[in-house]
């Protein structure tokens, strides 16, 4: 397009070509439309109360920022797909997507990494980057994709759990969205070191993400998440 008589600069030409590709506008110099056009995918997070019209809390477009409630409701009305997601009302951190999808979102995976730090199997210290997000209550058995039912396990210990040799159970309180302010302080309190066989698995001191493991011989172990609360990803 940089021919004789073309006054536009190279950056201007690139911007115009991009706009033409997005809108599939016709090319007057060639007498035909540009090929196909590009379909944009907009991911918007919108509070349920805003969609119902009983709240004016803004929505948010991924990679852009906040949008006003009217624009959020308009986008929702034109949405091709829906995914229900529960978030922490205090921090906005994603907590669950129910059974709408098996794989946790990237934000949930980052939150698990901040919460667990390492493989959650007793005595294992493999870092979060070398682990997989595992459903404590298996997806096949009705387990949901939520941070209350997910934990990081390295591949070896993930296999041991999946084959039924070791049985985990999350015994901490639910995430912060279901807690009173007092219980929330307990949930993020500094966790004690790895527990022992005789520790009471129902004591309220267990923070969110505490897992009780039962070995093949019936011995119980308790592993705790990182003591500090995860940041609001």
pLDDT by 10-residue block (mean), the chain, 233 residues? 89 89 63 57 84 90 89 87 77 77 86 91 92 93 90 95 93 58 29 38 68 94 73 49
Dihedral-angle region of residue 198 (phi above 0 means left; psi in -120 to 50 means alpha; beta otherwise):
alpha
CA distance 143 to 50: 29
Residue with tokens 């706009």: 19
Note whether 208 and 176 are within 8 A (CB): yes
Torsion sign, CA atoms 222, 223, 229, 232: negative
Burial of 167 (0-12, 13-18, 19+ CB in 10 A): middle
CA distance 118 to 223: 11
**Confidence (pLDDT) at 38:** 64
DSSP 174: P
Note whether 97 and 83 are within 8 A (CB): yes
**Confidence (pLDDT) at 156:** 95
**Confidence (pLDDT) at 92:** 72
**Confidence (pLDDT) at 232:** 52
**Confidence (pLDDT) at 29:** 56
Residues in the chain: 233
**Confidence (pLDDT) at 106:** 85
Nearest to 148 by CA among 160, 138, 135: 135
CA distance 72 to 74: 5
Rg of the chain over CA atoms, in angstroms? 24
- 137-157: b or e for each residue (b if 16 or more CB lie within 10 Å)? eeeeeebbbbbbbbbbbbeeb
Nearest to 53 by CA among 72, 78, 81: 72
Torsion sign, CA atoms 153, 157, 158, 162: negative
DSSP 210: -
**Confidence (pLDDT) at 211:** 94
DSSP 152: E
CA distance 209 to 231: 15
Nearest to 135 by CA among 109, 100, 102: 102
Note whether 87 and 59 are within 8 A (CB): no
């Amino acid at each position: 397009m940089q021919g004789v008589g073309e006054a536009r600069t190279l950056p201007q030409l690139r911007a115009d070509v991009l706009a033409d590709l997005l809108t599939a506008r016709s090319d007057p110099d060639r007498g035909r439309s540009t090929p196909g056009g590009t379909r944009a995918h907009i991911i918007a997070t919108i509070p349920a109360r805003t969609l119902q019209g009983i709240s004016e809390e803004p929505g948010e477009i991924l990679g852009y920022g906040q949008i006003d409630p009217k624009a959020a409701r308009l986008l929702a009305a034109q949405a091709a797909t829906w995914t229900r997601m529960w978030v922490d009302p205090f921090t906005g951190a994603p907590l669950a997507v129910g059974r709408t999808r098996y794989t946790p979102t990237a934000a949930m995976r980052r939150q698990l990494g901040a919460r667990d730090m390492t493989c959650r199997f007793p005595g294992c210290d493999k870092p979060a980057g070398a682990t997989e997000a595992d459903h404590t209550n298996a997806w096949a058995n009705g387990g949901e994709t939520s941070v209350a039912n997910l934990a990081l396990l390295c591949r070896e210990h993930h296999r041991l759990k999946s084959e039924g040799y070791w049985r985990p159970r999350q015994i901490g309180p639910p995430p912060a969205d279901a807690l009173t302010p007092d219980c929330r302080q307990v949930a993020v309190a500094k966790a004690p070191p790895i527990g022992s066989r005789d520790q009471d698995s129902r004591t309220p001191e267990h923070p969110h993400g505490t897992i009780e493991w039962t070995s093949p011989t019936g011995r119980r172990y308790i592993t705790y998440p990182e003591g500090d609360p995860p940041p609001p990803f």
